[in-house]
Structure 1
Amino acid sequence: LMLDECLAERIGLPLDDLRTLVRHVESICQRSVGQRSPVVFLGPIYSYSYLAAVKHFGLGADLVPVTTISAAFEELVRGQAKFGVVPIENSTDGRIVDTLGMFARSPVQICGEVLLPVHHCLLGRCSRAEVTMVQSKPQALSQCRNWLAQHVPDAKLVEVASTAAAAALAAETPGTAAIASREAGLHHGLQVIDENIEDNLQNITRFAVIGHRESEPTGRDKTSLMFQLNHQPGTLAAAMIAFQRAAVNMTWIESFPLPNCPNEYLFFVELEGHQAEPSVSAALSELRGQTRRLEVLGSYPRG
């Protein structure tokens, strides 16, 4: 890590940009020598999931779009892909339910994460005054709700499968605008009517890199796990004491209802540290004795 920081300072690049550049070069080199490691992502290309995959794996990676989050997991389970990139949480809308649901029933690991600032653009082939319809995926429309009400109050809002699909449709339909990334607009030949139209300018989506590989400790790691408790008073509070005793900081917790099991929940938790570290290992060992089900989804470098 210190070497990366020194090199970034020497060449005048932010550390995150340097890491992305290195991944681009590595992925292009691997492809040039015939090393194929398919990476599935929630498509189509130029969706935010695609941009996250490029940020983590590089432009030369063998990126394969799928149409649903469940399909990304299924491709991994069938051995058709080596890695996947799926959204797990948005700073505005919260958890991504489809992703948490697939972790509950798929034997895959989290081996990395990507933090992607999401800056929405209004894209089209017309002026703002000429926009009669705005298309995007439901989450993007929700994240721009106030801006849309103020600046295009009469436009019809239409939900489509993805931001990239919205850009493709806007390129074909006069008077239709899309909410998508600048990159999607460039790809489809659209002009940026307005930029940074998200209501929360700190809008960030966190993506999980999934696969079957365990990551080695780096000193800047986090650990994800899920567990199920007996449905009794005080069981969650008792489970949390395991982290307190081991002095392990919990950074995220979400509950997820189990299908067809009334009043039964899975808890998804993220901790600072790697499961190989003594403190995290001790917390997990104590927690295992208090849960009906405990699965460590992976330890990996923080994004």
Structure 2
Amino acid sequence: MVHQQMASQEITVAYLGPAGSYTHQAALGKFGNSVTYHPQATIDDVFKFVEEKHTTYGVVPFENSTFGSVVTTLDRLVSSKTQIIGEAYLEVNHNLLAKSNIKSVKRIYSHPQAFGQCRKWINTHLKGAQCIDASSTSRAAELAASESASAAISSIVCAELYGLNVLEKDIQDLRGNKTRFFILGNSPSGSTGDDRTLLLFTVDHRKPGALCDCLKTFKDHNINLTKIDSRPSLQRQWNYVFFVEFEGHKDDSNVRMSLNDIGEYCLGLTVLGSYSNKRTED
């Protein structure tokens, strides 16, 4: 486990806060209660805390099984100086929390991911309510606790922390709703024999088949891809960076050969990290 690497030192962990967020719960599940936690207001702040070595590790949300990738995390990975050294999964059950009753709710606070995961329920039961983005579900609970006629989509934990009533339970659109979180650090993790690696690259968009040529190198070396994403490069219009996750560790021989081959087709290539595979198939 990642925290065993720092057993002789005090371990500190930054996470997207405030207390009670799903990221906080994932961090607790990964590191337990014997480390020092530092809640951060934004995902960017979590990255900065690790990059500037204010904390040993950071925990950020990466993707949800219902609503897909957390684009804020993807965008921050483009400029990150950290390494992804681990992952964690958390089953996410959303609840409608408020100080009042459901009939008086005119505003709902939550993280954009939570709104996306509860879209059907909101459209059915609170279609006229104003949905307002918050930096996290726990921040949403804080806001709902300070205002009348406001509610939050958040966790049961936040109901207890912020003195809110649970108006409706389990309002997510799909059962088995899970979020994957990345553990950030400053030193790469070693191979476990069951790992995944996340790669970032861009290609010459003017060259036909450039992306196809890149992806074919994985097939040539018998490497299974598990996720592909893209985001604007912010370098020029209609230019994109690609995220590719695959089975294997960056130090595996077939992965090294694939990375050497893919370098011939890429304009830029960054290994964001290799980490032990924690996904369990339901």
Q: Tell me the TM-score normalised to structure 1 length.
A: 0.83
CA distance, structure 2, for counterparts of residue 168 and residue 263 of structure 1: 39
Q: How does 1:1-303 map to 2 (within 5 A)?
A: 35-231=9-205, 232-303=207-278
Contact 1:54 1:61 in 2 (8 A): no
CA distance, structure 2, for counterparts of residue 192 and residue 164 of structure 1: 14
State the one-letter code of the partner of 2:190.
E
CA distance, structure 1, for counterparts of residue 79 and residue 143 of structure 2: 35
Q: Which of the two has higher C-alpha Rg?
A: 1
- How far is the alpha carbon of 1:234 from its aligned partner? 0.6
Contact 1:89 1:96 in 2 (8 A): yes
CA distance, structure 1, for counterparts of residue 167 and residue 61 of structure 2: 27
- How far is the alpha carbon of 1:136 from its aligned partner? 1.8
CA distance, structure 2, for counterparts of residue 111 and residue 142 of structure 1: 28
CA distance, structure 1, for counterparts of residue 143 and residue 267 of structure 2: 48
Contact 2:42 2:135 in 1 (8 A): no
Aligned-partner SS, 1:51: helix
CA distance, structure 2, for counterparts of residue 276 and residue 161 of structure 1: 36
Q: 1:133 to 1:98 in 2, by over 3 A?
A: closer
- How far is the alpha carbon of 1:125 from its aligned partner? 3.2
CA distance, structure 2, for counterparts of residue 105 and residue 41 of structure 1: 19
Contact 1:88 1:206 in 2 (8 A): yes
Partner of 1:3: none
More helix by share: 1
State the one-letter code of the partner of 1:261.
R
Unmatched segments (≥5 aa) in structure 2: none
Contact 1:40 1:81 in 2 (8 A): yes
Partner of 1:10: none
Aligned-partner SS, 2:193: coil
Contact 1:163 1:180 in 2 (8 A): yes
Aligned-partner SS, 1:171: helix
CA distance, structure 2, for counterparts of residue 99 and residue 149 of structure 1: 27
C-alpha distance after superposition, 1:121-170 (max 9, x if no partner): 11123333443432222332232122122223444433333211221233
CA distance, structure 1, for counterparts of residue 270 and residue 199 of structure 2: 6
Q: How many residues align?
A: 277
Among the aligned pairs, what percent are the same residue? 37
| Larger RCO (alpha carbons 8 Å, 6+ apart) | 2
CA distance, structure 2, for counterparts of residue 56 and residue 120 of structure 1: 21
C-alpha distance after superposition, 1:152-191 (max 9, x if no partner): 3444433333211221233333443211011111112223
Moved more, 179-188 or 272-281: 272-281
Q: Tell me the TM-score normalised to structure 2 length.
A: 0.89
